Amino acid sequence: MISVETSKFRLIWCSKEMKEQEWIRFLFGDLIEEEIFPDIIPPPKAFDIYIVNSNKTSLRTLYDALRNTIGEIRPIGLVHLSDEWFGGGYDVYRNFDFVVRTHHACVFDRNQGILVIPLGWPNGAVADYYPKRASERGNRWCFVGNLIATRHEMAKYFLPWTPNCCHLFNPKKEMGPRLSKQDFDMILRDSTFCPAPMGNVMAETWRFYEALKAGSIPILERRLTIDYYRNLLGNHPIPTFRSWRLAMKFARASVDDGEALDGLQSKILRWWENYERDLVDRVRSFLVHGARGGYRANLSVWRFPTGVSSRIWQVLELTRHHSPMAIVRRVFISSKAPKRLLKRLLT
Q: Are residues 171 and 193 in the same domain?
A: yes
Rounded to an integer, what distance in angstroms lies between the CA atom of residue 74 and that of residue 63?
Answer: 15
Rounded to an integer, what distance in angstroms lies between the CA atom of residue 194 and that of residue 134?
Answer: 11
pLDDT in tens, 203-214: 999 999 999 999
Q: How many CB atoms lie within 10 A of CB 19?
A: 17
Secondary-structure breakdown of the chain: helix, strand, coil percentages, each rounded to the nearest 5: 45, 15, 40
User: How much of the chain exceeds pLDDT 90, in percent?
Assistant: 80
Buried-state track 133-148, b at ≥16 Cβ within 10 A, e below 16? ebbebebbbbbbbebb
pLDDT in tens, 71-93: 888 999 999 999 999 999 999 99
pLDDT at position 335, please?
A: 59
Before 44, cis peptide (omega within 30)? no
Rounded to an integer, what distance in angstroms lies between the CA atom of residue 157 and that of residue 159?
Answer: 6
The mean pLDDT value of the chain amounts to: 91
pLDDT at position 333, please?
A: 62
pLDDT of 109 over the 70 cut? yes
Q: Are residues 56 and 112 in the same domain?
A: yes
Q: Are residues 291 and 244 in the same domain?
A: no
Residues 6+ apart with CB under 8 A from 162: 140
Residue at 4 is within a domain:
no
Please tell me the total count of domains within the chain. Answer: 3
Residue at 210 is within a domain:
yes
279, with CB counted inside 10 A (0-12, 13-18, 19+), is middle
pLDDT in tens, 138-154: 999 999 998 888 999 99
pLDDT (average), residues 103-130: 93
For the residues of 53-106, what is the DSSP string, one character each? Answer: ETTTS-HHHHHHHHTTTTTTS--EEEEEE--TT----GGGGGGSSEEEESS--G
pLDDT at position 336, please?
A: 54
pTM of the model: 0.91
Q: Are residues 141 and 207 in the same domain?
A: yes
- Kindly report the CATH number assigned to the domain that includes residue 155: 3.40.50.2000
Q: Are residues 107 and 162 in the same domain?
A: no
pLDDT in tens, 179-203: 888 999 999 999 999 999 999 899 9
Residue at 27 is within a domain:
yes
Residue at 53 is within a domain:
yes
Q: Are residues 52 and 32 in the same domain?
A: yes
Q: Are residues 183 and 156 in the same domain?
A: yes
Higher pLDDT, 329 or 253: 253
Q: Which domain holds residue 163?
A: 134-274
Q: Are residues 267 and 140 in the same domain?
A: yes
Residue at 129 is within a domain:
no
Q: Are residues 61 and 179 in the same domain?
A: no
Contact present, 296 and 77 (Cβ < 8 Å): no
Residue at 3 is within a domain:
no
- Count CA atoms closer than 13 A to 271's CA, side-chain side: 16
Residue at 2 is within a domain:
no
Q: Are residues 251 and 284 in the same domain?
A: no
pLDDT of 2 over the 80 cut? no
Q: Are residues 46 and 172 in the same domain?
A: no
pLDDT in tens, 15-49: 988 999 999 999 999 999 999 999 999 999 999 99
Q: Are residues 270 and 284 in the same domain?
A: no
Residue at 246 is within a domain:
yes
